[in-house]
Chains A and B, each alone.
Chain A
C-alpha cells in the first residue's frame, strides 16, 4: 500500500470534489424547479398530460448514462453541440426533473380527495385550489423523498466522469492512471463521496421521522 500517494494527491481530489458539489447543486436546483412544473403538468389533461408523462417515463426508465451519451454524442447529429459539462448538466437535470415530478405527483395524489372537493365546492378554481390548499400540504410530503433524491443525484454526478467532466471520479481516475495506486485512490474517492452523502442521508431520515410524528 502506498498511502503517501494519497496524501500527495489529496488536494487534486478535493478540487474534483468541488466539481462534484458544483454539478450536484446546479442539477438539484434546476431539476427541482423543472420537476415541479412537470409534476403539476401530469395532473392536467390531453396534450399537457401526455407530454409530461412521456418526459417522465423516458427519463426515469432509461439509464442516466444513455441520456448523457444521447445529449453529448447524439444531439450534435441534429446540429446541437454542447460541451461535456453542459451536456452532463442538461441530462442530469432532466433525470432529476423526471424523478422530482414523480415525487410531486405522488405527494399531491396522497392527499385525500376531500381536500380538492372541499376547496372546489367553496368556489375556488383549480389553480387556486392547487396554490392554497394542495401544494402547501403536498410540499411537506415531498421533502424527505426530495432529499433522498438529492443524495442519489450527488452520487450520480460521478457519471459525468464518463464524458470526462472534471469532478471527483474523473480526478480519481486521472490520479490512478498516473500513480497506479488504484486500491488506495478508489478507496479514498469512495470515502470522500461518503462524507458528502452520509450527512444528507442522516438528515433525510431525521426529517422523515419528524414529519411522520407531526402529521395529524
Chain B
C-alpha cells in the first residue's frame, strides 16, 4: 500500500502580532477526508491558526504545506492554495451588493472561468443542498443569520474545494438557527470533505470529528479522538477547559 500524504501539514509554525507571540510552534497533520475540530479558550490562537492555512495571515516561522503546495511569499502558491481551500467565517462575510446566486457564482466565473450557465446550475444545486433553493434571488440582508451562513457555505463549496475551513460558523447565530447550519456541515463531513472546524459546539465535535485539537496560549496541548478527548483528557488544562464548557 502506498503511503498517503497529509493534505494539510504544519511544522513548527510560529506567528507574532507585533510582540504578541500568538502561535508557539504548532505541529499538525490533517489527512484527506478527516474532520478536525479545534477548540480552546478565547484568544488562544484558533482563528489565527486556521487563517494561516489559507494565508489570510502570514506565518513567521515553520512550514505550512497544503495539498502538496508550500505556503511561501510566492503569490502563485497562495492563489493555488486558496482555489483548493474554502473558508466560512463567523460573520458570514456575504457580499451585500450581490444576490445569493451572484454571491455563489462570482468566484467560479472569475477564477475558474466557468461559463455563467454552468456556474448558475451548480449554484442552484448547492442551494438545494443547503436547503434554501427559493432564496437564489434574495439579497443577503433579506435572509436570517442561519440562512446567510448556509449561503456562505454554498459559496465556498461552489469552488469545489478539497478542504473547508470553518471559523466558529455558529457563534454569531441565534440558538434556534445553529442546528440548521450544523446539519449542513454534518452532511458535508459524511460526503468525505476534509474539514478543519473551530467551534465550541461539543455535541457536533463528539459526533462528527475524527480528532479534536485543544489549543491553549498558542500551543497544541492535546490531540485525541472525541471519545478519549471527552472521557479521558490527559492534561489538566484540557480538563479545566472541558469542565467550563460542558456544563
Contacts and interface: CB of A to CB of B under 8 A. Distances in A.
Judge A-B direct contact (beta carbons within 8 Å): yes
A110 interface: no
A132 B82 CA distance: 18
Interface string B36-55: 00000000000000000010
Q: Is the interface of A mostly helix, strand, loop or mixed?
A: helix
Contacts of B122: none
A197 B94 CA distance: 39
Contact of B93 (A115, A132, A216): A115
B230 interface: no
A128 B89 contact: no
B185 interface: no
A18 interface: no
Given A114-B89, A128-B110, A121 B95 contact: no
B95 A124 contact: no
B77 to A, nearest CB: 13
Contacts of A83: none
Contacts of B155: 122
A120 B86 CA distance: 10
Interface residues of B, number: 26
A112 B64 CA distance: 27
Contacts of A123: 79, 82-83, 107, 111, 159
Contact of B106 (A112, A114, A121, A122): A122
B82 A121 contact: yes
B56 interface: yes
A216 B96 contact: yes
Interface residues of A, number: 18
Contact of B79 (A118, A125, A132, A137): A125
B196 interface: no
Contacts of A122: 82, 86, 106-107, 111, 155-156, 159
A133 interface: yes
B97 interface: yes
A23 to B, nearest CB: 35
Given A114-B91, A124-B110, A133-B106, 13 more contacts: A112-B93, A114-B93, A118-B94, A118-B95, A119-B106, A121-B85, A121-B87, A122-B82, A122-B86, A122-B155, A123-B111, A125-B79, A133-B95
Interface of B: 54, 56, 79, 82-83, 85-87, 89, 91, 93-97, 106-107, 110-111, 139-141, 152, 155-156, 159
Q: Which 8 A-B pairs have the closest CB atoms?
A: A216-B141, A118-B93, A114-B93, A122-B107, A121-B87, A123-B111, A123-B83, A123-B82
5 contacts: A115-B95, A117-B56, A121-B85, A122-B159, A124-B111
